[in-house]
Chain A
Amino acid sequence: MTTKSQSRIAVPAVSGKARFRLSPFTVISLALVALWLIVAAFPFLWTFWGSFKVQSDFFSKVDWQNAIYGVNTIKETGSPFTLAGYYGAWVDEAFWRNVINSGIVVFFTVIISLTIGTLGGYALARSGRRYAFWLLMAALAFRAMPHITLVSGYMLPFFEWNIWGILPTTIIVLVAINQPFTLWMLHSFFLNIPKDMDESAMVDGCTRFQAFRHVIIPVMWPGVITTGLFSFLLAYNDFAVTAMLLSSENETIIPAINSFLGTTQVEGKVMYAVAAVVSATAPLFVLILLFQRQIVSGLTAGAVKG
């Protein structure tokens, strides 16, 4: 008892001193953080800056500083910044069409995943029976399956039934691939909502579904929004499924960038891909800016990381 109260008195002095003393441990860990932040941010800054240059500047064998000052860009276009890469990607290569496709795929994937995932996650959180546990374990195993192994199972049947290459097929596949992790995440969010809430509503005469609608739905939005962010990321970032299951006119942006690389190796055209890459990263940047708190809470909520 005495030691405890003593320690409580002693602490402010000790920690106050420790904060200002630079032990080697602190120095090393701060240096590591600084190094990491540079390594994490620099590639993005570099590529963003370079996307406004011409290829001979961004990929300069002579002098890397060319990419900063745009020596050749000034020579070729008269100004240190050029939108040629963006014009080429968005207009010449019709990147806007891929953006629309991505918009459709991502929107419907998120809406459908959340709708069916919420119902399932709620049921799993409230059941507590052995089969619910096994379903969660099966979902975990499904989550671990490399997507490309599943894709190799889809292709032949989809060709046979003539549903290969169109957006709805891809949306349904992405919804299904999304489900294991959506279920885990929503399940852990629903576990945090006290059981008493819906159970008291049922005592008052609600059915299970009415209790869900009137009591749970109003309070579940933080969890649903966080899960939605990760569904968005999974659908937006997917390459394996969209590259194999969409025909070239229905391509979303990520496989489109990959096909740019194949077709635009000619001088000057690599910048189209650079511009497309920057364009594809921009929405993610905004997403992190707006939802940083939700993303962090989602990462730590359970079996996350899409």
Chain B
Amino acid sequence: MKHRTFFWFILPTLSAMVLFIALPIVSVAIQSLFVENEQVLVVSESCGPFGCKETTTIDAEATARLQEEQPLGRFNGLDTYVNRSHLAFAEVGEAWRSTDTLGEFWGQVSNLPFYRALFFTLTYTAVVTPVVIVLGLAIAVGVNNLPKLLKGPSIFISLLPFLVTPLVGALILFWMVDSDGIIGATIQRIFDDPSLSLKASTALTWTMLIVYGVWHTLPFSFITFYAGLQTVPEDTMEAAKIDGASKWQRMIHVVVPHLAPLMSFVTLMLLMDNFRVFEPIVSFKAEAHATSLSWIIYNDLRESGNPLYGSAGATSMMTIVGVVILLTPVLIRTWRNFNRKAH
């Protein structure tokens, strides 16, 4: 294809992506270097019969004018990145000096908002991804063994949790496990402990968020693997059967290696999607026990009347760095493959 033709074909989509994905990233980077304007204060002295009194008032007009002149706020350099709500170097250093054991140190650090969110996001990603891959493969094999009549309906049912709106799907589960819901109330009755509820326990909240994550993403890996199973070469399977391999051995030595490329694709997709976990925390109202990187950005932007663009920008930039780190191995491998193909 000629360069010129290529250019005209790609122009609309490319300009959409540059304007609304690339430029916003630049805009986020710039925002993260600024903080909100301070309110302009006026100190006036009023003298009465009992001496003089200093009063401080907010000059609303001057504040508005300042906001007009500098919508971004004041330049702050990298200070936002290292303040208490983000990397918190000072607090981490203090915790390092003042604590004796690693556990204690960790206890202090994991109370800082950014580390808390990072820790949950990483745990969620690291637990949900492998569980979903293993269970997805197991269910794909199971469905593949079903009679033909049952395959269609089971795929239909499986698609529901995956395609349902994340916020809505999480709400549906939340209403069931909440202390008045069918599962939550039953658990309370079994353990005879009315204080046992999602709202009161960090461990339960984390578990339920992870259960939601598995429920929501399992169908993706299941269906991808199910499609992959249809392409397993029959000859190899037969040969393995003749050689006396049991079902389990055939699974490990024939099916899994055949699905390996699919597995790395599924892993990549799951990592990307799990890393941006966000909606379930809103639905579960879980912010007291678990926050994610996406959620703290959302929270900064919602700060009523006065969104904290600088703070949201700094967290966004660090999230983007995290995504890039996740993607690097894939990008490197694809690049190598492309070069091999090209030569």
Contact = CB atoms under 8 A, between A and B. Distances in A.
A40 B242 contact: no
B241 A11 contact: yes
A89 to B, nearest CB: 13
B5 A208 contact: yes
A30 B297 contact: no
Interface of A: 3-4, 6-8, 10-11, 14-15, 18, 23, 25-26, 29-30, 32-33, 36-37, 39-41, 43-44, 46-47, 58-61, 64, 67, 115-117, 119-120, 122-124, 126-130, 132-133, 135, 137-157, 160, 172-173, 175-177, 179-180, 182-183, 208-209, 233, 236-237, 239-240, 243-244, 254, 257-258, 261, 273-274, 277, 280-281, 284-285, 287-289, 292, 295-296, 299-300, 303-305
B212 to A, nearest CB: 10
Interface string B261-296: 000010001001101101100100000000001100
Interface of B: 1-2, 5-6, 9-10, 12-14, 16-17, 19-28, 31, 71-72, 135, 138-139, 141-143, 145-146, 152, 154-161, 163-168, 171-173, 175-176, 178-182, 185-186, 215, 218-220, 222-224, 227-228, 235, 238-239, 241-242, 246-248, 251, 265, 269, 272-273, 275-276, 278-279, 282, 293-294, 297-298, 300-302, 307, 309, 312-313, 316, 319-320, 323-324, 326-327, 330-331, 334-335, 338, 342
B267 to A, nearest CB: 12
Contacts of A239: 165-167, 278-279, 282
A176 B182 contact: no
Contacts of B248: 25
B278 A179 contact: no
Given A29-B142, A60-B180, A277-B172, A180 B17 contact: yes
B156 A160 contact: no
Contacts, number: 299
Nearest to B217: A305
Chain A residues touching B, majority SS: helix
Given A40-B160, A148-B276, A149-B297, A292 B167 contact: no
Contacts of A175: 16, 20
15 contacts: A37-B158, A39-B215, A47-B175, A58-B175, A115-B12, A116-B12, A122-B9, A127-B1, A133-B338, A141-B323, A142-B22, A148-B301, A280-B168, A281-B165, A289-B156
Contacts of A133: 338
Most B CB within 10 A of own CB, among A18, A61, A128: A61
A221 B160 CA distance: 25
Contacts of A29: 138-139, 141-142, 145
A281 B167 contact: no
Nearest to B2: A208
A240 B298 contact: yes
Given A144-B272, A258-B282, A176 B220 contact: no
Contacts of A147: 276
B168 A295 contact: no
Contact of B156 (A7, A157, A237, A292): A292
Most A CB within 10 A of own CB, among B19, B246, B316: B316
B323 A176 contact: no
Contacts of A128: 1
Contacts of A119: 9-10, 12-13
Contact of B28 (A115, A152, A300): A152
A184 B215 CA distance: 26
B159 A288 contact: yes
B139 A237 contact: no
A203 to B, nearest CB: 15
B152 A254 contact: no
Contacts of B166: 237, 239
A145 B320 contact: yes
Given A135-B10, A156-B27, A284-B165, A172 B293 contact: no
B309 A40 contact: no
B158 A47 contact: no
Contact of B1 (A64, A120, A143, A208): A208
A205 B109 CA distance: 69
A146 B276 contact: yes
Contact of B297 (A18, A23, A148): A148
A293 to B, nearest CB: 9
Nearest to A233: B163
Given A59-B175, A60-B185, A132-B6, A292 B155 contact: yes
